[in-house]
Structure 1
């Protein structure tokens, strides 16, 4: 998952992304949606190495600098199983956001933000991911700017529940 792709001037065509990943020697490459999601067979390659190498390959091939977050099928399966908002995921999956981080988010900082925020949103840290339920959507939420101000939005990328499920489905069995 690439951060901030196809937002404003940060444009990357799916075909370009696929070509870069294939050029790295990975197989079974499929892009998902047009927002910087790609699944592929990586063999025994370490996720951290893939993140580093894909970042460098994208910059060389396209000039685009984007943070890269890698999760394998087992990671996504555990994530889906651990979803703290299963009813919300069924009822309004596009309003449930999973934010992927390199390291576990600061639970204390998120707890302080949750306590001080008066909106209907709820946040739960599971491992190194943050689940945020936006019952009224993100567009008018006052939580998003509060998270940015609290510097909780550094070094991560978010996907709604629909996309998380599509990524897992694209990985197959």
Structure 2
């Protein structure tokens, strides 16, 4: 008699694609989800209608996964969004490190993480400030930013883009937590 194997199916790595510039006005999340599924990603889920796509894929470089997602959106949506991919494992490690705890920040400050395509090569003197916005730290391809919201003023985005360019995308720490847990 042949016994059943105790071997379990390997768990496929889980990733999050952060799409730059997505809103409900320029992309419908069910269509984005279908584009990712047609690209061969599995267990696809979109979060918050702002360009967060969680999916499973065999291990590949995050850059290769981003390019595959961009190509799929171009083919199936007739447009593409700059895509930055991180593993849910890496996001969980970032969150577990409680990265903002080492900084003395105003009680009303918002915490955001900016995701970069590449590790920055320029040496930065941190923190970099613009009024109530601060670039606090660069950890590899992630930038920790805090800001105190001001009426009608996205100062923190101007500061980030001036410092790192536009091949980036930014999410609140709360959104990053939701994506890591999805």
**Aligned partner (choices 110, 124, 139) of residue 126 of structure 1:** 139
**Aligned partner (choices 161, 164, 168) of residue 173 of structure 2:** 161
Please tell me whether residue 67 in structure 1 is matched to residue 82 in structure 2. yes
Greater share of residues in strand: 2
- Listed as ranges, the gaps of 5+ residues in structure 2 are 1-17
- Listed as ranges, the gaps of 5+ residues in structure 1 are none
Q: Distance in 1 between matches of 2:50 and 2:120?
A: 23
- Counterpart residue number, 1:14: 29
Query: Matches of residues 102-117 of structure 1 in structure 2 within 5 Å?
Result: 102-106=117-121, 108-109=123-124, 111=125, 114=128, 117=129
TM-score (norm 1): 0.80
Structure 1 counterpart SS, 2:49: coil
Q: Is the Cα contact below 8 Å between 1:119 and 1:143 reproduced in 2?
A: no
- Counterpart residue number, 1:3: 20
Q: Distance in 1 between matches of 2:83 and 2:127?
A: 26
TM-score (norm 2): 0.76
Please tell me whether residue 140 in structure 1 is matched to residue 178 in structure 2. no
Structure 1 counterpart SS, 2:164: coil
Q: Is the Cα contact below 8 Å between 2:20 and 2:83 reproduced in 1?
A: yes
Q: Max radius of gyration: which structure?
A: 2
